[in-house]
Amino acid sequence: MLPTPRKFTIVSGSSEGDTKLTAFDKALLDAGIGNLNLLKVSSILPPNAEYVERLEIPPGSLTPTAYGSFVSDVQGEVIAAAVGVGFSEKDYGVIMEFGGVCTRQEAEARVKQMIEEAFAVRGLKLAKVMTKGVEHRVEKIGCVFAAVALWY
């Protein structure tokens, strides 16, 4: 079992690439998380996790990350990704993520709605929500990426 993360950082980025994978890689770099090894996790924020604005971990670190992304090769299409973190008053939190064909505002509204539903299902009182999103108009092959990185 891995240790429980004590910190979290919310990031987002977008980019263009010559392939879908390089567009994704460049979006990770734009978000400031491109030199880490992301371990995709489901969406629970540990109790008492501290928000830190900037990641301060070495390149190559295994980093538990909840993320949403979307890649498109439809020229002119507007794509967006967003993440949201819902905080309970004294318990754990919930992270939701989304990526698709929409605006940043629509993506952020979607994750907020999913957080509200997740709290209702768990019987938790929602005290606060943080969201972060990104929007991109595709030129050739575009990618959007939004994430909550959990670290130690």
Point out the residues that are catalytic.
37, 42-43, 97
Query: Strands 78-88 and 37-40, how do they pair?
Result: unpaired
Contact, 144 vs 80, CB < 8 A?
yes
Which one, of 103, 83, 91, lies nearest residue 41 by Cα? Answer: 83
Name the 3-class secondary structure at 2: coil
Distance CA 120, CA 124 (A): 6
Q: How far is CA 148 from CA 10, 17, 35, 84, 99, in A?
A: 5, 23, 15, 8, 14
Distance CA 10, CA 144 (A): 14
* Count of other CB atoms within 10 angstroms of residue 17: 18
